[in-house]
Amino acid sequence: MDARHDEDAGFTLLETIISMVIFALVAVATAGVIVKSVALTADNRGRAVASKIAAQQVDTIRSAGYSDIVSATSTVTASGTSYSVNTIVTPVFDDGSGGKRSCAAGGVGGQLYKKVGVTVSWQNNSQVKAIRNDTIVQNPGTSTDATKGAVAVTVTDSGVGKAAPEPVGQQVVTLSTGESALTDDDGCAFFDNLAPMTSRTISVSQPGWIDNLNQSPATTTVGVTAGLVSSRSISFDKATTLNLSFAPAGQAVGTYAIPVFGNAVTSSPARYTVVPQLSVNDVTKRTYKALPSTSATGASSTWWPQDSGYSVWFGSCTQDPASPPTALADTLPGKAVTATVPTGGLDLTIVPAATPRTLYFQNTASGCQSSPETYKVTIAANQTSAKVALPFGTWKAGFLLTTLDSGTTLTAASPVKAVTK
């Protein structure tokens, strides 16, 4: 028998598998390089087109009449890609004392030049790309129409986590008469050549942002006077979100029912109080919020960022010194804070009745949003027990508001009490 190796024999199964694995590894690596190369090529193409659009926009601006150079937004489509073109124009004035002013009150005359910033942005692989081109257009001696006025709006952030508030650029500022402009790097949006008017409303809006009055959009009003620049400032930043639930300490949320706020004829969701920690004793700084519904056990709300954080408690009365408010830190721009705010609770043993009844709870303490602060729950027919969450304090209870008991005190140290009704 010839034991020599057969030179014409094929590959074994193991050799085939190893070859396939090696080929797969090489193919994956090569594919990754190709994908990155294609993406880079598309990005470079996009940048080239955007740069050309920006250069064309700057040329158009430089060839326009000085008075016609204004902020504007437009869209250009090239090679199937949509490019957003934002032109921000901010005049710079002689302040009359050898200096310069831009986003400040003063006369409309004496424009030295206009700062122009052109930003072209586009989307590539779910990422927003942008290029920018800046220029200055000197005033060739064009006089400003003294029968018209102007408005300068400065937008700044909260300054939380920083040495001081900083300007917010690329924010859309809108006037109630329809004009709109983007803020520049100094946070300034300038509206020129406006007809005099007693009052215009200025607004700034962006999803997830809020002003220092906890409002969105942020608004203020301004009058337009012939021959003058009127200025306004708006504080605007990403909101802090407070996700709150309410329950006695150590108890699961929902174990103790949140009562309804109201008396015999009114009903509304329960209330809670939010106040900046540095102003916890200032009644004028408190905000009273209602839960989203009468069946809710918590609430989510947005607030102006605070370095010092917020204090929160259930109810709308001045917090009992024996039961300090819940301190919430890290209330930074764009951050969400989640907390369970402690409450008091009543474990009720109820003498049953054949018909449904309303059980009232009343706090007559001072410092409440409305005094007395009254809550209520519905007791079903033949119901013999109930668990009710209440703000800390002393609460009188009864099935008639005119015949309440002597009261039960709930504190952080002794939050849950047993009561028979």
DSSP string computed for 65-134:
-GGG---EEEEEEETTEEEEEEEEEEEEEE-SSS-EESSS-EES--EEEEEEEEEEEEEETTEEEEEEEE
Which residue is associated with the tokens 């590894």? 25
Highest mean pLDDT among 77-91, 216-230, 312-326: 216-230
- d(CA 235, CA 158) in angstroms, rounded, equals 6
- For the stretch 291-297, contacts whose Cβ atoms lie closer than 8 Å and that sit 24 or more positions apart, written own/partner, are 291/258, 293/269, 294/260, 294/267, 294/268, 294/269, 294/270, 295/258, 296/258, 296/269, 297/245, 297/246, 297/247, 297/253, 297/254, 297/258
Task: Evaluate if residue 34 carries a pLDDT over 70.
Answer: no
Tell me what the mean pLDDT of segment 4-17 comes to.
Answer: 62
- In this prediction the pTM is 0.81
Q: 2.130.10.10, 3.30.930.10, 2.60.40.10, 3.40.190.10: which CATH number matches 44-238?
A: 2.60.40.10
Task: Evaluate if residue 40 carries a pLDDT over 90.
Answer: no
**pLDDT of the residue at 346:** 96
Domain locations in the chain as residue ranges: 44-238, 240-420
Least confident of 245-254, 338-347, 368-377: 368-377
Task: Evaluate if residue 95 carries a pLDDT over 90.
Answer: no
Q: Which tens digit of pLDDT belongs to each residue from 119-149?
A: 999 987 668 788 999 999 999 988 888 899 9
Which residue is associated with the tokens 């949003």? 369
Residue 101: closest CA among 87, 118, 113, 116 = 113
Residue 50: closest CA among 123, 113, 115 = 123
Which residue is associated with the tokens 């030295």? 112
**pLDDT of the residue at 200:** 96
- d(CA 30, CA 22) in angstroms, rounded, equals 12
- d(CA 141, CA 110) in angstroms, rounded, equals 9
Mean residue pLDDT of the chain comes to: 90
Task: Evaluate if residue 357 carries a pLDDT over 70.
Answer: yes
Residue 320: closest CA among 340, 297, 343 = 343
Task: Evaluate if residue 1 carries a pLDDT over 50.
Answer: no
Task: Evaluate if residue 334 carries a pLDDT over 70.
Answer: yes
The dihedral formed by the CA atoms of 404, 406, 412 and 418, expressed in degrees to the nearest 10 = -80
**pLDDT of the residue at 41:** 59
Task: Evaluate if residue 275 carries a pLDDT over 50.
Answer: yes
Tell me what the mean pLDDT of segment 141-158 comes to.
Answer: 92
Task: Evaluate if residue 305 carries a pLDDT over 90.
Answer: yes
More confident residue, 330 or 22: 330
pLDDT confidence bin for 15, thresholds 50/70/90: low
Q: Which tens digit of pLDDT belongs to each residue from 176-229?
A: 999 999 999 999 999 989 999 999 999 999 999 999 999 999 999 999 999 999
**pLDDT of the residue at 25:** 75
Q: Which two tokens stand for residue 65?
A: 């009449």
